[in-house]
Structure 1
């Protein structure tokens, strides 16, 4: 873990005689004067250092940030608050909240640069993102009481930073609690502003309760608040989430009517509006509406269609089965990328087209896209993308009746990727090839589940959640240490009974520590309808020791508190189901006697 050290400042010590000698020199070389200005720490220009910290933050090179800060401290002595605020933001951006807290406390020391409102806002945002909400509320209370170091003022930016972090984390219960406690700072004319309602609607959608976002729109209208473009975009996204596309089109038309009626260009639909609608109707495979939206986008003279919009149009046409229209737009996008590199397609778009074409057996086209993805795409081609592209090429060859090519591709996949998931799309293709080859020429050493059906729901074999004796996160390890005598992992719950993490036996090293501090979070979870085969892949591939099983239900409240754990499935139980498939007996060979 990196550590910020406090270095003593080294002011330039010039005696009166030295000063006289400096100004009494009759001739100075320009190079010497430049050298003196360069090394003088009296009035250092730290703008370049701040810009450097910002660039390193974007790259998430936190270690390099602190290396350069240490060098700057040795050179200049004490750094100013602007630079250290940039360092604090780097810690938060990289997710190291503990280091952010140490940096903040180092800044607040009397012999250091001090902290201001920006420092508090950054730290509050980091505490919210790190789910350290209790510490964030304690910090806000100290600001409100006037006991906080640096005398910060309780202002809307401080509240907005923490509120947005809580909403991004999906913690709507504490977000509503924050508004109930400090909402008086955010109120404009006695009511919460449209921006606050937009944030809350976004939070309800991300937490899986889009119905609440629509209900909040009615509350806004009752209070006389005017919705803006972000409000409508959020509402359309909520309607798409719950498959109420008629309501989404209603808000879309209302958005355009309002923009024309009141001559408000800032309410007119933008790229986000159109791409959200395309996603919804593309999933429903409503080709008529998708073509109508695409035509409207291309006919708007003042509407700029960027790469994201092109990607949404092509994806929706692919989902609707209009492959010719998708390829036409893809060719148009490639032409634009020749003029402007910002239009170069992402690897995701190549894969979308390859999925459809491989199922049709168009090996020539899939092979072309497979090759051009490495040359013409923009962004990082992650290993998962590479593996899927290889699987799709194998599938296209098999569907095109090129069996030898498909076998060759399967052999290459096994050699490069060290195996294949038998529940994935590529795994089903490999299974078809295995059936053609027979077990005598099998590429794999197959395993079977003799007592369970891999396609059965995990609910049929899971252990009840209460049977594993979950522990409360507020307890200390020394109180429950004997639980780990015969258990390698135990789920941890909060005061509302929700599973917040898993505590592994190897992490039990501090007897006085509370369980929430040493647990690992968040726990991997699946629904009760997930297949046993999918959960087996999670455990075998990700090396999970325990998977939490939750049950979906219709939410009657705004938060997701009803989504609770109902069972667990452990690696030990999986290993009890698996047994190797016996190989056929080999004939006796006299040479081996």
Structure 2
């Protein structure tokens, strides 16, 4: 079909003045643009600022957030409620409730941005997490009575914030009290919503009563409420807590049955479900079920296996002793992490393998894992993890009969970490190395008590008071400074001869000052019948340099005891 367009002669007539109108109306001049920029105020780009606050919140850089907010205030003037709500959320996320309260009060001032429901919900969540429950209830009461600034409405999100904090803390008494008072806001169809039941289940698990979570499930069934995925995951977690893994598998199979029978894909087990089951069966060392769950996870096409899932699978396999399967998955994870940085393993995974191989005495493998942990792991390595890794390397060398290497590692640990805890796994290894080295090559300069019975009274080995040569506290340091040339600590007495403190060499800083101004508190008192072993433990544990006999208040040094 041919379309014919007709033009009237009026439209085709040329007017000489139109040539100027065509150009003048379509393109504004630069002068007009400049005038418009001067006349109109500059609109602040607060969306970019809000995004910046959110990013800094994830990094917990609260100080940086407030620095940039102050710069923005000087540049733009008053900020809007959206930006300040993001700042309030940052304070809550970083756990600084006092700063959150100050920010909230600043927002409530008449010359500021004001408050809305989001502001109140964020602060209520923060008060709950900080366990300031009384303040949270007072804030809710002000909202309920209509006296709150900004006229917020009492709604379910405000209640959920406090309820979630209470259940995470395991404070079920107050959680049930909150529902009893404000539960009418949480009803759906005449009953409490599924979300409320999920929170209560989580709370009972946190409080150490997972059986109550199973009772809530029966209550939901009686009310004809259909559990969702979060409900099932919470129930499975409760069953794992009380080692009822048969019940956990029942809920697991029920999830898959409902998802397939009723075409409810949102009910199908997710990564959280599988990792929870792996944790339970890994603790019980059930190799068959662990392998079954791992195989099911690997063959499920719709399941996204992230770093947490890989870690759970490897931990469970290591706990069950299936080290070959764990190493296979670990190699797969390292290979995938070359393409996806989010899959780079955490230091925890390296320590898991190091614990296993150090007990086997495989020093080469532990040394390799120790080195690769610094190069290939994701995130920062905490000092606790670093110290444990050094201990495991020492243990592997000892179990591999490389005594010289183990001794070298022990020396490095002492220099780097300024000691070692005897109650730790590395401490027991250090004791075995000490026994192999003997007293002449010991790292810890052990106290030698020749022919001393630890059960004997301390009176049998204590020094006389006069032999210690105490100093009067009123003396100036310049008068007795040479006493500290060969003595690291000297008892201080008053005019009546009573011990009032100890003056240490490192505290002697003022020559013109009296000794009592620089002394430390007096040593602990023991009776003359106290056993030598008890006094030695007291000195070693508290690092005291002497003890005092209370009847005569005479300082004594125990023969053979170390001095700091």
Q: Which runs of 5+ in 1 are unaligned?
A: 1-24, 452-531, 542-578, 585-593
CA distance in 2: counterparts of 1:117 and 1:97, whole angstroms: 18
1:386–1:163 distance in 2 versus 1, CA, 3 Å: same
Match of 2:374 in 1: 374
The CA deviation at 1:42 is 4.8
CA distance in 1: counterparts of 2:30 and 2:204, whole angstroms: 72
- 8 Å CA contact 1:446–1:581 kept in 2: the answer is no
Match of 1:118 in 2: 118
The CA deviation at 1:583 is 6.9
Is it true that 1:340 corresponds to 2:318 in the alignment?
A: no
Is it true that 1:238 corresponds to 2:216 in the alignment?
A: no
Match of 1:189 in 2: 189
1:565-580 counterparts in 2 under 5 A? none
Match of 1:107 in 2: 107
Match of 1:273 in 2: 273
- 8 Å CA contact 1:197–1:216 kept in 2: the answer is yes
CA distance in 1: counterparts of 2:75 and 2:431, whole angstroms: 64
CA distance in 1: counterparts of 2:331 and 2:215, whole angstroms: 42
CA distance in 2: counterparts of 1:155 and 1:447, whole angstroms: 68
1:362–1:216 distance in 2 versus 1, CA, 3 Å: same
Is it true that 1:582 corresponds to 2:537 in the alignment?
A: no
The CA deviation at 1:41 is 5.0
CA distance in 1: counterparts of 2:193 and 2:410, whole angstroms: 58
- 8 Å CA contact 2:447–2:561 kept in 1: the answer is no
1:59-138 counterparts in 2 under 5 A? 59-138=59-138
Query: What SS does the corresponding residue of 1:339 show, helix, strand or coil?
Result: coil
CA distance in 2: counterparts of 1:242 and 1:115, whole angstroms: 45
1:138-157 counterparts in 2 under 5 A? 138-157=138-157
1:450–1:115 distance in 2 versus 1, CA, 3 Å: farther
- 8 Å CA contact 1:60–1:90 kept in 2: the answer is yes
Match of 1:458 in 2: none
CA distance in 1: counterparts of 2:276 and 2:265, whole angstroms: 19
Match of 2:523 in 1: none
Match of 1:252 in 2: 252
CA distance in 2: counterparts of 1:271 and 1:220, whole angstroms: 24
Match of 1:166 in 2: 166
- The TM-score, its normalising length taken from structure 1, stands at 0.70
Post-superposition Cα deviations, 1:34-91, rounded to whole Å, max 9, x if no partner, equal: 9869xx7553231112112222222222222222222222222221111111111121
Query: What SS does the corresponding residue of 1:52 show, helix, strand or coil?
Result: helix
- 8 Å CA contact 1:358–1:399 kept in 2: the answer is yes
1:301-380 counterparts in 2 under 5 A? 301-380=301-380
1:275–1:150 distance in 2 versus 1, CA, 3 Å: same
CA distance in 2: counterparts of 1:105 and 1:220, whole angstroms: 41
Post-superposition Cα deviations, 1:528-548, rounded to whole Å, max 9, x if no partner, equal: xxxx9xxx9xx979xxxxxxx
The CA deviation at 1:339 is 2.0
Match of 2:397 in 1: 397
CA distance in 1: counterparts of 2:442 and 2:237, whole angstroms: 48
Post-superposition Cα deviations, 1:461-502, rounded to whole Å, max 9, x if no partner, equal: xxxxxxxxxxxxxxxxxxxxxxxxxxxxxxxxxxxxxxxxxx
Query: What SS does the corresponding residue of 1:441 show, helix, strand or coil?
Result: coil
CA distance in 2: counterparts of 1:29 and 1:383, whole angstroms: 63
- The TM-score, its normalising length taken from structure 2, stands at 0.73
- 8 Å CA contact 1:358–1:396 kept in 2: the answer is yes
Which of 1 and 2 has higher RCO (CA within 8 Å, sep 6+)?
1
The CA deviation at 1:301 is 2.4
Question: RMSD of aligned C-alpha atoms?
Answer: 2.6
Query: What SS does the corresponding residue of 2:394 show, helix, strand or coil?
Result: helix
- 8 Å CA contact 2:314–2:330 kept in 1: the answer is yes
Post-superposition Cα deviations, 1:327-364, rounded to whole Å, max 9, x if no partner, equal: 11111111111222222111000000110111001111
Q: Which runs of 5+ in 2 are unaligned?
A: 1-27, 456-533, 544-556
- 8 Å CA contact 1:41–1:75 kept in 2: the answer is no
The CA deviation at 1:226 is 0.3
The CA deviation at 1:129 is 1.0
Post-superposition Cα deviations, 1:79-128, rounded to whole Å, max 9, x if no partner, equal: 11111111111211121212211211221122221111011101111111
The CA deviation at 1:303 is 2.1
1:493-504 counterparts in 2 under 5 A? none
The CA deviation at 1:33 is 7.8
Match of 1:480 in 2: none
- 8 Å CA contact 1:122–1:161 kept in 2: the answer is yes
CA distance in 2: counterparts of 1:46 and 1:53, whole angstroms: 10
Match of 1:6 in 2: none
| Residues paired across the two proteins, number | 435
Match of 1:386 in 2: 386
Select between 114-123 and 301-310 the one with higher mean Cα deviation. 301-310
The CA deviation at 1:440 is 2.2
1:396-435 counterparts in 2 under 5 A? 396-435=396-435
Match of 2:530 in 1: none
- 8 Å CA contact 2:198–2:230 kept in 1: the answer is yes
The CA deviation at 1:582 is 3.0
Query: What SS does the corresponding residue of 1:439 show, helix, strand or coil?
Result: coil
1:301–1:58 distance in 2 versus 1, CA, 3 Å: closer
CA distance in 2: counterparts of 1:71 and 1:375, whole angstroms: 38
1:11-50 counterparts in 2 under 5 A? 27-28=30-31, 42-50=42-50
CA distance in 1: counterparts of 2:447 and 2:422, whole angstroms: 11
1:103–1:234 distance in 2 versus 1, CA, 3 Å: same
Query: What SS does the corresponding residue of 1:110 show, helix, strand or coil?
Result: coil
CA distance in 2: counterparts of 1:274 and 1:292, whole angstroms: 11
The CA deviation at 1:29 is 10
CA distance in 1: counterparts of 2:121 and 2:261, whole angstroms: 40
CA distance in 1: counterparts of 2:29 and 2:289, whole angstroms: 83
- 8 Å CA contact 1:41–1:76 kept in 2: the answer is no
Match of 2:204 in 1: 204
